[in-house]
Chain A
Amino acid sequence: MSEPRLVEVRRNVLKQNDVIARALREQFRAAGVFVVSLVSSPGSGKTTFLEKTLTQLQPRYRVAALVGDLATENDAVRLARSKAPVKQITTGTLCHLEASMVQNALQDWDLRTMDFLFIENVGNLVCPSSYDLGENLRLVLMSVTEGEDKPLKYPTIFNSADVAVVTKNELAEAVEFDWNAAQTSIQAVRPGMQIFRLSAKTGQGMEEYLGFLAQQLAEHRAVAHI
């Protein structure tokens, strides 16, 4: 047996994804579109939340959405009710979106015709955290029915997010949701993160969150000199 020798190589495993994500981010900047990605558990109400977001932004903004889903196109069908352009990315067996999938899906879309582009990731709080999609804002969504300690169970994805939304607030009382405990656990894994508490169903709290998005778009364009 010969002795093994160590050769230093230093290769970032996700380099290919990161390179594409960087190119996407530059494309988004040049087009002046603000891109928001959504991550959450399955069943947290992501599609309803996105449908309401698209519908309520529409009178003032040009919006579009890419939806990642494993097999079905149900989400895209539901979101199409908002009348916004929606495209499905069927990931097949893959539990997350990668930058190349976003790039492929956007090939025949003119980004300059959009103010906001939403990318709904596959319902999963583990896998999407490693993959940069070139988004300007990563929004993590959790519902009051999931429990206040969700952020402590999935610290990596909460840590990688820029803003948190706690939804299904209309059920908060019924499930004895402890708002202070939820805030504490979010702040523990991601200090300083802004949190919105709302109900996509009743519309309560949506205004403040949509105002935040509008402000983000304005700042994005000011920096991008659009």
Chain B
Amino acid sequence: MSPLNYWGPSLRSGSQIPGSERLSDGADLSRAGIEYAEMHELSIAMGIVDAALDESQRRGVEVSAVHLRLGALSGVVNDALLFSYEVACQDTPLEGSQLIVEDVPVVVFCVPCNAERELPSVQLFACPECGTPTMDVRRGKELEVFALEVKEEELQEKGGQA
């Protein structure tokens, strides 16, 4: 029995993801074809939506796009996340908004070179210049909503009211 067959169907009976109440009564996940492999990204996507909603409500703005920094070591797969984001947005004020992902490569510090170096691959933690192994990771673990694109009209309206 493959993990997909085993874990897939139970999803439709609800979810225990914290703060995921929307899942059981809102989004039709079986129709969306969510399977085991996407679950982790779905959980992350809901975290993104929650963070963006919180920020937009606090500012009283309408969001057209969410900008995310995604490190190569974040453990999150870009494509699966984009798909999950759509599902996570359903029935929220973010429905129809766009997720714009900025991939952040892994940057390590190399002691012999005394410099930060970008790793061409996460399969080799060694300085690409001199080959010295290193675990001093300076960037690449990001999983951060860093900006919201908001509609200018909304801002002006709010400004006018204030």
Residues of A within 8 A of B (CB): 2-14, 16, 42, 70-71, 91-96, 98, 100, 126-127, 129-130, 152, 155-157, 159-160, 187-192
Contacts and interface: CB of A to CB of B under 8 A. Distances in A.
Given A9-B148, A127-B75, 9 more contacts: A6-B150, A7-B59, A7-B148, A70-B10, A95-B39, A159-B73, A159-B122, A160-B73, A189-B124
Contact of B146 (A10, A42, A189): A10
Contacts of A126: 37, 40, 75, 77
Contacts of A127: 39-40, 75
Nearest to A8: B147
Nearest to B3: A42
A129 B143 CA distance: 13
Give the size range of B's interface with the partner. Answer: 35 or more
A104 B35 CA distance: 26
Interface in B15-29: 15-18
Instruction: Say what secondary structure dominates the interface of chain A.
Output: mixed
Contacts of A6: 67, 147-150
Contacts of A159: 73, 122, 125
Nearest to B7: A70
A93 B10 contact: yes
A130 B122 contact: no
Nearest to A15: B51
